[in-house]
A = this chain, B = another copy of it.
């Protein structure tokens, strides 16, 4: 692995606080690899050999039923580790992972990671913080699904994308609409109608480009809630 890669890795939140020696041990067997679009990194039910860390690009996590239906559970952006829980406890993945945009992914051998965990207290704390973030994201999603209609979920999503949140904000959807629909828990057809319905709230869409006419009206429509919509990153176990 190149030294430039090592620097990339050292900056990752899940390895936060490790000094160079400690980091070296963890990353000794790690691979930093590029994957093209559509690559399936692993499938649900498999035993985790690696902890994956998305360094660049975009990856989706999805679940499937035995009869072939699928649902997108999360769309990841750098930098984020995924399915830490499976890798740490050596239990089967509950979700599959597929590359959406050409991506650079760090793969840390799970066994080596678990071994280091017992030896390097700081590493365990970083992992705890990362896992806490991942847990809280799932709780937020459950609340989103159970407390909102699909159009409200779309509205909240658009509000989140409109950064900075100013009237007239314009941005690109991060994925195609089929994936987005699945992520939001609806069908592509229903997503089309939800976009149409938000026309009332001065939302305009052309292709993948969204324009938010009035942040205030969008807010008013979906009742954004700190405990559902806020994005948390880089929490710490020990505040000091």
Interface centre among A44, A129, A139, A238 (most CB of B within 10 A): A139
Listed A/B pairs (15) with beta-carbon separation below 8 Å: A44-B227, A63-B146, A67-B223, A84-B132, A89-B235, A90-B239, A92-B226, A92-B227, A94-B143, A114-B237, A117-B238, A134-B135, A138-B138, A138-B142, A142-B145
- Determine how close the nearest CB of chain B comes to the CB of A200; give it in whole angstroms: 20
Say if the beta carbon of A125 comes within 8 Å of chain B. yes
Kindly report which residue of chain B lies nearest to residue A90, judged by CB atoms.
Answer: B239
Say if the beta carbon of A107 comes within 8 Å of chain B. no
Contacts of A239 in B (CB 8 A): 90, 114
Contacts of A124 in B (CB 8 A): 121, 124-125, 128
Say if the beta carbon of A185 comes within 8 Å of chain B. yes
Interface contact B237-A88, CB-CB below 8 Å: yes
Proximity string of chain A (59-95) to chain B, C-beta cutoff 8 Å, 1 when within and 0 when not: 0000101110101010000000000111011111011
Known: A63-B146, A145-B145. 13 other contacts (CB 8 A): A45-B227, A65-B223, A66-B225, A71-B146, A85-B136, A88-B237, A90-B239, A94-B143, A95-B143, A114-B238, A127-B128, A141-B142, A146-B185
Say if the beta carbon of A31 comes within 8 Å of chain B. no
Interface centre among A45, A115, A132, A145 (most CB of B within 10 A): A132
Interface residues of A in 115-133 (CB under 8 A from B): 115, 117-118, 121, 124-125, 127-129, 131-133
Interface size, chain A (Cβ < 8 Å):
56
Kindly report which residue of chain B lies nearest to residue A67, judged by CB atoms.
Answer: B223
Contacts of A114 in B (CB 8 A): 237-239
Kindly report which residue of chain B lies nearest to residue A120, judged by CB atoms.
Answer: B121
Say if the beta carbon of A1 comes within 8 Å of chain B. no
Contacts of A95 in B (CB 8 A): 139, 143
